[in-house]
Amino acid sequence: MEVVMAEALAVRHGLKIAMEAGFTSLVLEMDNLYVYSKLKKARQENTILGSILHDIQVLASQCHSNSFSFVKREGNGVAHVLAKLSCNFEGLRVWLEEYPPEAHAAVMADLSASFD
């Protein structure tokens, strides 16, 4: 359950940051099938995880448009690289227009794949 909680907390946190930055049309991609399926079903559960998922649903509903998308880890290399890099940082890091040089190869691969 730790992985599921971490993914749900990351989705909620990322959603909050995106909204604070002024984004109102969002596609929330995740590689955890369990969290994705729970969000798609949108059924209220009386658990800590259920509360976090409910928070995500409420926040997402405040956007102009939103969708949840399941992407296998191999399909989102940038997120994987940034998650691994985050272990080396203290405090919050947000990249909106620039990204760490260590993620360059993954950014280029994701961009290339999106045009195929």
- pLDDT higher than threshold 80 for residue 48: yes
Pair 90, 46 in one domain: no
Pair 107, 51 in one domain: no
Which residues span the domain enclosing 67?
2-71
Pair 53, 84 in one domain: no
Average confidence (pLDDT) over 102-113: 84
Please give the Cα distance from 40 to 6 (Å, whole number): 18
18-22 own/partner pairs: CB under 8 Å, 24+ apart: 19/59, 19/62, 19/63, 21/94, 21/96
| pTM summary value | 0.81
Pair 79, 92 in one domain: yes
Give the confidence band of 116 by pLDDT, cuts at 50, 70, 90: low
Pair 99, 86 in one domain: yes
Pair 67, 78 in one domain: no
Pair 85, 45 in one domain: no
Task: Please tell me the total count of domains within the chain.
Answer: 2
The sign of the torsion formed by the CA atoms of 79, 101, 18, 47 equals positive
Pair 11, 49 in one domain: yes
Pair 37, 66 in one domain: yes
Pair 64, 97 in one domain: no
Pair 80, 59 in one domain: no
- Please give the pLDDT value at position 110: 79
Pair 66, 78 in one domain: no
